[in-house]
Structure 1
Amino acid sequence: MKLNPYLMFNGQCETAFKFYEQCLGGKITAMMTYRESPEPDADQIPPEWHDKIMHVALTIGEQELMGSDNPPKYQEETKGFSVSISLNDPAEAERIFNTLAENGVVKMPYQQTFWAYRFGMLVDRFGIPWMINCDRDAG
């Protein structure tokens, strides 16, 4: 079994995933717009959404983060989850936290906790919640 987070956006998916590719050191391996879809019902998507992302995949090591733009009638508020990243490198964990936090909202500052060398929570500029954890043994 393989679990992959699938993030939904309201028109900013391409920008978000290009940002995540740089921030997380991954590689976008697939990106398809609604215009490129072979789905016969794709013409039901409003014209202003034809260049929005129907599906994107970002590979980071052996992990994959996926996403798409939800047409407005399907878009819902992001709630009830966070994308969690665990690292052993304190400097890299802090860099990722700070980069994701740019123009976002820090919910819990990146700091030492009883379970981790450093841990922090934020919602990035695209509305995606993240938890960054640097293992206790890393310090």
Structure 2
Amino acid sequence: MAKINPYLNFLGNTEEAFNFYKSVFGGEFLVLQRFKDTPHGDSMSAEDKERIMHVALMVGDNMLMGTDVLESAGQTLTFGNHLSIAIAPESIEETNAIFNGLAAGAQVEVPLEKMFWGATFGMLTDKFGVKWMVNYDENQK
């Protein structure tokens, strides 16, 4: 079965965002490539050369990936509520650690608590504008 891996776009702060996610989830970057390392890197501004062309961080068995949108290349980005990343931790301890980590500087829409469907659930928009849903269901093991 194919895996689904979220790919996030940012306006110049991909590296900051992914260092934050790495501090929450742990692990190491599988890839961290800057635009200066691409075939067209020489023709870019000094600022764009240092931006992130591609980054990948393993989160459990999934890969979280991202890039910087280059406005100088005519790319645009609009953050909205059309995408959330749902994560299913394997323990209540991991649930608390992930939610509390992501909550730093975040807007918490639903505090982490036991829900009517039996799971511990919380929802927030992190300080980078990314929506997260954390759902731990101890009966889904």
Give the structure-1-normalised TM-score: 0.88
- 1:30-72 deviation line (CA, Å, top 9, x unaligned): 011111112x3x4554432210101001112321110001013
Distance across 1 between alignment mates of 2:102 and 2:14: 15
Distance across 2 between alignment mates of 1:61 and 1:96: 12
Closer/same/farther in 2, CA of residues 22 and 116 from structure 1, 3 Å limit: farther
- 1:73-126 deviation line (CA, Å, top 9, x unaligned): 423222201011001311210111111011111111111112243101111111
Distance across 1 between alignment mates of 2:56 and 2:139: 31
Say which SS state the counterpart of residue 68 (structure 1) adopts: strand
Closer/same/farther in 2, CA of residues 116 and 15 from structure 1, 3 Å limit: farther
Letter in 1 for 2:68: D
- Say if 1:57 and 1:66, in contact at 8 Å, map to a contact too: yes
Q: 1:120 aligns with which of 122, 125, 129?
A: 122
Give the equivalent residue in structure 2 for 1:94.
Answer: 96
- Say if 1:45 and 1:71, in contact at 8 Å, map to a contact too: no
Gaps in structure 1 of 5+ consecutive residues = none
Which aligned pairs between 1:5-20 and structure 2 lie closer than 5 A? 5-20=6-21
Distance across 1 between alignment mates of 2:138 and 2:116: 8
Distance across 2 between alignment mates of 1:26 and 1:49: 27
Which aligned pairs between 1:54-93 and structure 2 lie closer than 5 A? 54-72=53-71, 73-79=74-80, 80-93=82-95
% identical aligned pairs: 38
Give the equivalent residue in structure 2 for 1:111.
Answer: 113
**Aligned-pair Cα RMSD in Å:** 1.7
- Say if 1:116 and 1:133, in contact at 8 Å, map to a contact too: no
Distance across 2 between alignment mates of 1:103 and 1:61: 24
Letter in 1 for 2:27: G
Distance across 2 between alignment mates of 1:30 and 1:110: 32
Number of equivalent positions:
136
Distance across 2 between alignment mates of 1:131 and 1:61: 16
Gaps in structure 2 of 5+ consecutive residues = none
- Say if 1:115 and 1:136, in contact at 8 Å, map to a contact too: no
